[in-house]
Amino acid sequence: MFASCADPSSLHGLNWMLCYLGTGKHLLFYTSFGTVLLLLAITAPLSLLFGFGGALAARSSFTPLRWFGVGYTSMVRGVPDIVFFLFVPIAMDQGLEYMRHITLCSDWTEPVRQGNSFLVCPQAKLPPNTAPQIYHKIYGFLLAVMAFALVFGAFAANVLFGAMKAVPHAQLETAQAYGMSQRQVTRRILIPQMWTYALPGLSNLWMILIKATPLLFLLGVEDIVYWARELGATKSQIYAYPHPDWRLWYFLVLLAFYLLMTKISEAVFARISARLSRGQATLGGETQRKATP
């Protein structure tokens, strides 16, 4: 903060606003946009990985693996997202701490479950109680990432499974007739061809993922929604920068941010779709072929 901002009560007009927007909490608000972008950057490929594994498992000829793939997509898609977003971090946190508890504290005699409380030995806590606050924030963020990846991975698995079924079966049979093994057919024919059919569903899923990022607020992560509500709420004279209820303006900033993200995503997916449709026997590919002089 600038030296001129040392006494906010003496500031007026534009100087007051500039100092107000440069406070430490506002800097955290600005960095929280990076938190959302980081969540998207990690969750999107991780969800795609989970979805790809789930789709291949659902197509497997090995019955237990096929049941696992179908069960994963059906269970996660059949449960409200908010339930999984709240359940997964708690379940993973307690599961990891319990495994550490039985490994590190074999002499512990008290039950872990005591009514509604979950109590493990201090050595089993994640992160340790003595760890800096930044480690607790990183740990909570990683749990949130896993919750998002598991939920959206199930939806991605359903999209990819449908895309694999949409690949013309004649192409797969032709590849087998040329002597390719089933693994070669999957790797060289099925997977490259399926992306054209999967892209519309994956683009919609990406948009839903963007709109779901405010749920970080419910998982205890200090994201843009948290800071917009915290900074925009009415501040009385006991605060350095008192102001009335400005939440409307803060949430308008969030509205503009998400609309910009959506617009950029639409442009990117349009270019990817045009690239994948080139030379393909699809509606997009046929449109490109007719447009070529």
What pLDDT does 281 receive? Answer: 54
Query: How confident is the model over 64-90, as a mean pLDDT?
Result: 82
Task: Tell me 237's DSSP state.
Answer: T
pLDDT of residue 204: 92
User: Which residue has better confidence, 1 or 174?
Assistant: 174
Mean pLDDT of the chain: 84
Using alpha carbons only, what angle is made at residue 246 by residues 240 and 249, rounded to the nearest 5 degrees?
A: 130
Cα atoms found within 13 Å of the Cα of residue 95, Cβ hemisphere only: 7
Q: Which residue has the tokens 């959302």?
A: 36
The alpha carbon dihedral of 225, 231, 232, 234 has a sign of positive
Per-residue confidence (pLDDT) for residue 2, from 0 to 100: 64
Q: Which amino acid is at 75?
A: M
Q: What is the pLDDT of residues 110-147, one digit of tens each?
A: 778 877 778 888 888 888 878 888 888 888 899 889 98
Nearest CA to 52 out of 209, 207, 202 is that of 202
Under 8 Å between Cβ of 200 and 1: no
pLDDT score at 289: 42
**How many residues would you count in the chain?**
293
The number of folded domains in the chain is 1
Give me the domain span that covers residue 105.
3-291
Percent of the chain with pLDDT over 70: 93
- Kindly tell me if the per-residue pLDDT of 62 is higher than 90: no
CATH of the domain at 116: 1.10.3720.10
Q: What is the mean pLDDT of residues 104-109?
A: 80
Rounded to a whole number of angstroms, the CA Rg of the chain reads 25
**pTM of the entire structure?**
0.82
pLDDT at position 12 over 90: no
Q: Over 60: is that where the pLDDT of 286 sits?
A: no
pLDDT single digits (tens) 246-269: 999 999 999 999 999 999 999 999
Residue type at 264?
I
CA atoms within 13 A on the CB side of 177: 6
Q: Is 124 exposed, middle or buried (0-12, 13-18, 19+ CB in 10 A)?
A: buried
Task: Say what the pLDDT of residue 180 is.
Answer: 84
Query: Residue 259 burial (CB < 10 Å; 0-12/13-18/19+)?
Result: exposed
